[in-house]
Homo-oligomer: A and B are copies of this chain.
Amino acid sequence: MAAPVAIDDPDDPRVAAFRDISERDLVGRQGRFIAEGTVVLRMLAAAHAAGRFRAEQVLILENRLPGVEAILDAFPADVPVYVAPARVIDAVAGFHLHRGVLAIGRRPDAAPDLDSLIATLPDRALVLAGCGISNHDNAGSLFRNAAAFGADALFLDETSCDPLYRKALRVSVGSVLAVPFVRQGSILDLLEKLDAAGFAVWGLSPRGEAEVGDIPVGPRMALVMGTEGEGLPQAVMSRFRTARIAQRPHLDSLNVAMAAGIGLYRIAQLQGRI
């Protein structure tokens, strides 16, 4: 790790990247994102070491430093570590939610596209796809479940939100940095490519034909989630097979992340990956 540098002035240009992070969506600014909290910081260190993401700088509340030194040790010495008192961090970051542990990460310039990610998948694979996942909580929870049940990748269509957004990343407990993903193109195009690559594509919907526990589990499985409320588009429901999760007749069906978790758990068990 780099020797920690004390910052005493909120206007210090070295911490300008952290300014008002609650107000702005950093994502899109040259692929940068905010990692907050010790769990996400640990995942960023691992992703940096693996070359999947780059850590640009770290900002730590001074009294949190002793508690996170083991995590900081996992970053190379060319990643600056700034340390500041609460007064300075609050003035820079503009809010109290950071829990004293912040970092700026960045996507690699050559992030994988849809075709290259599909090409990396193993012969026995389980992937999750999302269509119109616009809620950051749901996006983060999908990644958390994908990681828990050992999914190999997560595919989001272009109408889904960016899972590197601060809240989605936090809710994912950093899994967005661990589960390979792309967010690109239309859902139909994406699913056709998975189908062509030998994936059995199953849409999950309250109107699905088969109970999720009864679907035949092959070596390559893709589970597709729609947006909450509207569900999967009819074009997806018509083109691919569909499964449901038995539940009581109820105004609102299961939360999308919950449904995905149940589906992933069943398939991961039957594929022997958990």
Contacts and interface: CB of A to CB of B under 8 A. Distances in A.
Contacts of A246: 265, 268-269, 274
Contacts of A149: 247-248
Nearest to A212: B265
A242 interface: no
Interface residues of A, number: 33
B147 A258 contact: no
Interface stretch (A22-30, A196-204, A249-257): A249-257
A274 B261 contact: no
Copy count, this protein chain: 2
A210 interface: no
B145 A252 contact: no
Contact of A148 (B148, B247, B265): B247
A265 B261 CA distance: 11
Contacts of A258: 141, 144-145, 148, 257-258, 261
Given A42-B251, A247-B265, A248-B274, 7 more contacts: A39-B251, A144-B252, A144-B255, A144-B258, A148-B250, A148-B253, A150-B248
A247 to B, nearest CB: 4
Nearest to A261: B258
Contacts of A42: 251
A262 B261 CA distance: 8
Contacts of A147: 248, 250
Given A248-B147, A255-B141, A261-B258, A269 B173 contact: no
A85 interface: no
B251 A148 contact: no
Interface in A96-151: 137, 141, 144-145, 147-150
A1 interface: no
